[in-house]
Amino acid sequence: MKYGLKIAVATVAVLGMSGAAIAGSSDGKIQVKVMGSLVAPDGKIKSIELDNIGLPAGTQTEADDNFVPTIAAEYFFTPNISVETICCVTQHDVTGTGPLDGAGLVSNANIIPATLTAKYHFGDGSGFKPYVGAGPTYFIFIDEKAGSTAQALGATRQKMNDKVGFALQAGFDLPINDKGLGLSVDAKRYFVTTTARWYADQTEVLRTRHKIDPWVISAGLAYRF
């Protein structure tokens, strides 16, 4: 979360300092958004590929939710067609359910969901502007660690595979004035499956496939110029 917060603060500062130099317009080619996002991943196990720890039968997992700052940058080719990319870092823990209910399996997994979507905006480009979008994503996992229970079971190190996935998107932009300032509300559903590995020193002792598939719900301010 701390990485995303630094990016958000820096972007707001730059926009503030350059406000006089950048002429805002409701039909400009570029739009920048500063938003807050709820990131709600799934985290369920799809399959267990290696188990030298001895997980109890019926073990399942879930990932916790997080609220993070998000930056989005968008370029309009036409009033109806644009491409958008986002920048955020979200941190999650993975815990057990079922026989290992509440057990710590993954701790502090930082995820960068590098995403590029192509969007179609409905209407004539003025006033309330709903849109839909879709595009590829690449989930980058950083600094994840074995949770306390995984360590007690013999795992000293943990790694999540970076993974390519797909995102669907819908939302709307609503101008606040004719100087490019607006309100933006956005919802994305990601479809990403990754492999999690736990190690005892250098020996792999557990490997599982997980459905990440987060919802990312965002709202904030947009500036178009």
Tell me the per-residue pLDDT of 101-129, one tens digit each, with 9 for 90 and over: 999 999 999 999 999 999 999 988 678 99
| 32-72 pLDDT per residue, tens | 999 999 999 999 999 999 999 888 899 999 999 999 999 99
**Cα 155 to Cα 53, 63, 128, 183, 194, distances in angstroms:** 8, 19, 52, 46, 19
Please tell me what DSSP assigns to residue 16: H
Predicted confidence at residue 80, as pLDDT, reads 95
Q: Residue 84's pLDDT is what?
A: 98
pLDDT of residue 12: 46
Q: Please name the helix (run of DSSP H) or strand (run of DSSP E) that holds residue 169, with its range, or none.
A: strand 163-175
* 23-27, 125-129, 147-151: which is most confident: 147-151
* CATH 3.30.70 for domain 2-78+87-111+139-164+175-224: no
Contact 195, 215 (CB under 8 A): no
For the chain, the structural domain boundaries read 2-78+87-111+139-164+175-224
Helix or strand or coil: residue 12?
helix
Reported as a pLDDT band with limits 50, 70 and 90, residue 162 is very high
For residue 3, pLDDT over 70 is answered with: no
Q: Please, are residues 92 and 64 in contact by the beta-carbon 8 Å criterion?
A: yes
Q: Taking all residues of the chain, what is their mean pLDDT, rounded to a whole number?
A: 90
Q: pTM for the full model?
A: 0.86
Cα–Cα distances (Å) from 201 to 6, 87, 96, 148, 205, in that order, read 34, 34, 22, 16, 10
Residue 152's pLDDT band (cuts 50, 70, 90): confident
Within 57-156, strands assigned E span 60-63, 66-76, 81-87, 90-97, 104-121, 129-142, 145-146
Backbone angles phi, psi at 12, to 5 degrees: -60, -40
pLDDT digits (tens, 9 = 90+) for 197-225: 999 999 999 999 999 999 999 999 999 99
Ranges 25-29, 116-120, 180-184: which has the least confidence: 25-29
pLDDT at 82 over 50: yes
